[in-house]
Amino acid sequence: MTEYALTRSSGDRRRYELAGFGTLRLGGWASRWATAEAGDQRWGFARRGIFRSVIQATDPAGSVVGRFQGRSLKRGGVLNWNGHEYVLKPDSMWRERYALLDGDRRLALLEGKGWGKRPVRVDVDDTTIDAGLLLFAAFVVRALAEDASSAAGAGAAGGS
């Protein structure tokens, strides 16, 4: 297992790097979309919908190459990338940590904390993982962590 972190770039508060894999650059209000780059490949990642976690990845031509569909009552969900189905399965009851699974095989473990200097920690089990898939999974996990943080804050505010 190799440890990485999605880390803010110096000089650009909206750009994050995942060493050896690529970058994410946030855009838009509340970071609902980002552009990702890995080598000569580029994608756009965007959150869709309000009540359910749906996140899409598009190539430069606008074709959908990735999609995450969150579960309504449980955390995690199904992540499709280039026509292949993966699962983001919760790996902790107390943290926003998810295993990225290809069938029974774990490809990576991602732990999200919302945005900041290091919003997502990534432990890669399979170093041959597609860079675009890993960047998309990091964006999704960060979004899930942000949603959980917002829900916890709303619950605390409603209880006082």
Q: Where are the domains of the chain?
A: 2-153
Lowest mean pLDDT among 66-80, 92-106, 120-134, 142-156: 142-156
Q: What pLDDT score was predicted for residue 145? A: 86
pTM of the model: 0.88
Check whether 34 has a pLDDT greater than 60.
yes
Q: What pLDDT score was predicted for residue 133? A: 98
| Residues ≥6 apart with Cβ < 8 Å to 40 | none
Q: Would you say how long the chain is, in residues?
A: 160
Record the tokens describing residue 39, joined without a space.
């080598």
> How far is 47 from 66, CA to CA, in rounded Å?
12
Check whether 83 has a pLDDT greater than 90.
yes
Asked whether the beta carbons of 77 and 88 are under 8 A apart, the reply is yes
Other C-beta atoms lying within 10 Å of the C-beta of residue 54? 15
pLDDT band of 150, cuts 50, 70, 90: low
Q: What pLDDT score was predicted for residue 144? A: 86
Read off the pLDDT of each residue in 50-67 and give the average, rounded to a whole number.
Answer: 90
Check whether 28 has a pLDDT greater than 70.
no
pLDDT > 90 fraction of the chain, expressed in percent and rounded: 61
Q: What pLDDT score was predicted for residue 31? A: 66
Rounded mean pLDDT of the chain?
A: 86
Question: In terms of DSSP H, where are the helices of the chain?
Answer: 131-159
Check whether 151 has a pLDDT greater than 70.
no
Around 75, how many Cα atoms within 13 Å sit in the side-chain half-sphere? 22
